[in-house]
Chain A
Amino acid sequence: MPYQTYFEAASECLILVDREGLIVQSNAAAQRLFGYGPEELTGLPVEVLVPERFRSVHEKHRTAYMAAPRSRPMGLGLDLAARRKDGLEFAVEVSLTYAHREQEAFVICQVTDISERLVREREARKNETLRTLGSMAAGIAHDLNNPLAIILSRIELILADGAKLPDSLRADLEVVHHQAQRTSRIAQDLLSLARQRPRAFEPTDLNKVVEDALLLINGDMARKGIQVRSALDRHLPLVMGDPVALEQVLMNLLINAQEAMPNGGLVHIETEIHPDRPLYVRLTVADNGCGIGAETLPKVFDFFYTSKPNGSGLGLWLSRRIMHEHRGEIEVESEPGKGATFLLTLPVAG
């Protein structure tokens, strides 16, 4: 029978429901989507496919629909929640087709799982918001540069006339100068955030990223009495990543480590295959600096959160964002006075 064959074989998830809301028939795609075996759904109220908290509302809607049935196409903006047999909930779009067969009325429900689409849409909206915020931030940061140039230059002029200044005024001006410089750094951080270029993912040797970052910062570390020890796994598989962005993350962590050890210390960098997840690699950056307090620890990756006197609250936030773009993670472990350890996890390429 052609109808029956189509119903069974359709790649769309189809469920036939009678006037009382009982499932008369479901096809293989529906059984797969909702996690039921063949015939298992037949005779059950359609509400078994709805999360419990929505069932009574669904029943009312169904009764109202049956009183004045009509076909309802997809894409009416009705985002509904569905429930698998194992309890897992997912977002669906449902179209309804009203049909008669041998004096009896039925509704053919076509259910589409839209959870992936919703994730993509949410991601796109988030990126758009970030782009807008980025260009706003860039505009503000740029506008700050002229007044900052005037403030800094005037203070330097006044300070250069130092002989005539009382000590207390000189000290005050130095504080103002320092704070203006800090404002300028925050403006520059905002600009670098806004200038994030599109990522260029390629098979990347994480060890090379570490070596490149160390080349940039090793001299500075040595001057500040910080010893850097690295243990790089020479058999480390490649990761799919943007080497420039990953280096930016590593530089952020190394600069933070440096600032946590004003009197010198030790930074340990290690790459390895993740001990618990063989398809991931792990990069560890540990220092023995001042550490992070328990109250601060959960907030370190928050937007604009900073515990440093000169911080902008963007570095770790951006680092986490970059790691997420790589389908990776960044975590931190720390105790005050015992240093901080940042653990970066990235999936292996391919």
Chain B
Amino acid sequence: MHTILLVDDEADLVETYLRLLQGSGYRCLSAYDGRSAMALAEAEPAALLITDLNMPVMDGLDLTRWFRARWPEAAIIAMTAFHTPQTEQAAYAAGANTYLQKPFSNAELINAVQSFLAGSKTLL
């Protein structure tokens, strides 16, 4: 069973996307900053990381780099409310597979997740 690790410092956003992803049949773990996300990932490796880029303690770019180095085969979706062409470039350079600009629709997120985790849904 594949796990999604969802990381964002906006608690309401984490709760919203947890409901969306779990409601779509995915197993999810969540954290509010990069460092807590590292600890969670070490305890239970995730097949997909969905991370915000601007976060306290450890930001999403550092988390993306660490995650990519640690699990080269895993997928990473980077998302940000602070899009600039430079941010997008930096996200891909850090190892993200795709990049979403907030706000995006639930369908966009689910489509992106499905493209990485095809066939890995669990029935909860």
Contact = CB atoms under 8 A, between A and B. Distances in A.
B105 A145 contact: no
Contacts of B103: 145, 148-149, 151-153, 180, 184
13 contacts: A142-B82, A145-B83, A145-B103, A146-B81, A148-B102, A149-B102, A150-B16, A152-B103, A153-B103, A156-B106, A156-B107, A157-B16, A195-B84
Nearest to B84: A195
Interface in A175-214: 180, 184, 191, 195
Nearest to B103: A149
A160 interface: yes
Interface string A134-169: 000000001101101111111011001000000000
A149 B106 contact: no
Contacts of A156: 105-107
Given A157-B19, A157-B106, A142 B81 contact: yes
A145 B16 contact: no
A205 to B, nearest CB: 27
Contacts of B13: 146, 149-150, 153
Contacts, number: 49
A231 B16 CA distance: 52
Contact of A154 (B16, B23, B81, B107): B16
Question: Which bracket fits the contact residues of A?
Answer: 10 to 19
Which of B81, B83, B103 has the largest number of chain A CB atoms within 10 A? Answer: B103
A150 B106 contact: no
Chain A interface secondary structure, helix, strand, loop or mixed? helix
Interface string B80-103: 011110000000000000000111
Contacts of B10: 146, 150
Contacts of A152: 103, 105
A191 B103 CA distance: 14
A153 B16 contact: yes
A217 to B, nearest CB: 22
Contacts of B101: 145
Interface of B: 10, 12-13, 16-17, 19-20, 23, 81-84, 101-107
A180 B104 CA distance: 12
Contacts of A191: 83
Contacts of A157: 16, 19-20, 23, 106
A154 B103 CA distance: 12
A153 B20 contact: yes
Interface string A41-54: 00000000000000
Contacts of A160: 23, 106
Contacts of A146: 10, 13, 81, 102
B81 A149 contact: yes
A206 to B, nearest CB: 27
Contacts of B105: 152-153, 156
Contacts of A151: 103
B90 to A, nearest CB: 16
A151 B106 CA distance: 11
Nearest to B16: A153
A146 B106 CA distance: 14
A245 to B, nearest CB: 17
A195 B20 CA distance: 33
A160 B10 CA distance: 22
B78 to A, nearest CB: 14
Chain A to chain B: the 10 pairs with minimum beta-carbon distance, closest first: A145-B81, A149-B103, A149-B102, A156-B106, A148-B103, A146-B81, A145-B102, A153-B16, A142-B82, A150-B12
Nearest to B20: A157
A157 B84 CA distance: 28
Contacts of B81: 142-143, 145-146, 149
A153 B23 CA distance: 13
A240 B104 CA distance: 39
- Counting chain A CB atoms within 10 Å of each CB, which of B12, B101, B102 scores highest? B102
A16 to B, nearest CB: 61
Given A149-B81, A150-B12, 6 more contacts: A145-B81, A146-B13, A146-B81, A146-B102, A151-B103, A180-B103
A154 B19 CA distance: 9
A157 B17 CA distance: 9
Contacts of B84: 195
A145 B82 contact: yes
